[in-house]
Amino acid sequence: MILDPWTGVSPREGVSGFSNPATITILAMMILSEGVRQTGAIQCLKKTVASFTGESEHKQLGATVGLVGPLSGIINNTAAVAVLLPIVSDLAHENGTLPSKLLIPLSYASMAGGMLTLIGTSTNLLASDVASRLATDYPSLHAFSMLEFTHLGLVVFLVTGLYLLTVGYWLAPSHVTPRSKLETTQKEEFLTEVIVGEESPFVGSTVREALEEVDFEANVTQLIRNGVYRREPRLSITIRGIPSRSGSRKTRYGRYMR
């Protein structure tokens, strides 16, 4: 038998973990979650949740905690988060809710929900496997049954859910602006040139007065008058008109934002 000179472990022992029942169960849970996603059930669930919660942040938070907790006990908490993450993220962005107010509770509620069953978390499976192997030396130990600690897990999940719906909601940070709000507040910036004719209503006004009259935000970056270029002209400069046949004098307005 060949042994590693540093660790003294054989190749067979090195890869034996991949045949461990806990590892296979975790892999099966991942396959199950992907199968659920491929069926389209997630999209249907998203529509149902969105129609129920609307724009109410508290309803969205309640739906997030209420969904991920039980689901974590059925298909493993890591897989549950992977399945629900797109739903919760879209729910927040489309309804103007701060994503952190839902995504952080999603993570904590999944961990609490994972304590409901044996397959709820990878840690439960590994601990059960270790306990079963130690049972020969310690008779009080045994492999965990599927619902052996569900009663304790239920208490933990209820307390965690209550905390996330109250104190946790107010403590959650607000770092990311929802896409729906960005679309309405984001400004487009560009540079353009404006020629002021003699018939313009701005003739005789100062640059400051002209900027106050327009319906958009603008800055004057350069003024061309009598062939002379002036960068960042004073706002007190009076605007003059030029004949339509002449193009020697121009007023440039830059960085329009709308």
Rounded to 5 degrees, what angle do the CA atoms 114, 119, 124 make?
Answer: 75
Question: CB atoms < 10 A from the CB of 160, how many?
Answer: 20
- For 73-133, what is the HEC assignment? HHHCHHHHHHHHHHHHHHHHHHCCCCCHHHHHHHHHHHHHHCCCCHHHCHHHHHHHHHHHH
- DSSP 3-state of 225: strand
Beta partners for 257? 189, 217
pLDDT for position 206: 86
Question: Taking the alpha carbons of 146, 151, 155, 158 in that order, is the dihedral positive or negative?
Answer: positive
CB-neighbour burial class of residue 81 (10 A; exposed 0-12, middle 13-18, buried 19+)? buried
pLDDT for position 52: 86
- Please name which of 111, 114, 110, 122 lies closest in space to residue 67, comparing C-alpha atoms: 110
pLDDT for position 248: 42
Angle at which helix 150-165 crosses helix 100-113, to 10 degrees, equals 170
Question: CB atoms < 10 A from the CB of 38, how many?
Answer: 9
Question: CB atoms < 10 A from the CB of 24, how many?
Answer: 12
pLDDT for position 255: 46
Sheet holding 189-190, edge to edge: 189-190, 250-257, 217-225, 228-231
pLDDT for position 77: 87
* pTM of the predicted structure, to 2 decimals: 0.58
pLDDT for position 34: 73
- Give me the DSSP letters along 31-81: HHHHHHHHTTHHHHHHHHHHHHHTT-HHHHHHHHHHHHHHHHHHH-HHHHH
Would you list the domain boundaries of the chain? Answer: 18-183, 189-257
Contact 222, 234 (CB under 8 A): no
> What is the topology classification, in CATH, of domain 189-257?
Alpha-Beta Plaits (3.30.70)
Residues 6+ apart with CB under 8 A from 184: none
pLDDT for position 35: 77
pLDDT tens per residue across all 258 residues of the chain: 444 555 555 667 666 667 667 677 777 777 776 777 677 777 787 788 888 888 888 899 999 999 999 989 888 888 888 888 888 888 888 888 888 889 999 999 999 999 999 988 888 888 888 888 898 888 888 888 999 889 999 999 999 999 999 999 888 887 666 665 555 545 567 677 888 888 888 888 888 888 887 777 778 888 888 778 777 778 888 888 887 654 444 444 444 443
Distance (Å, whole) CA 55 – CA 43? 18
Beta partners for 194? 251
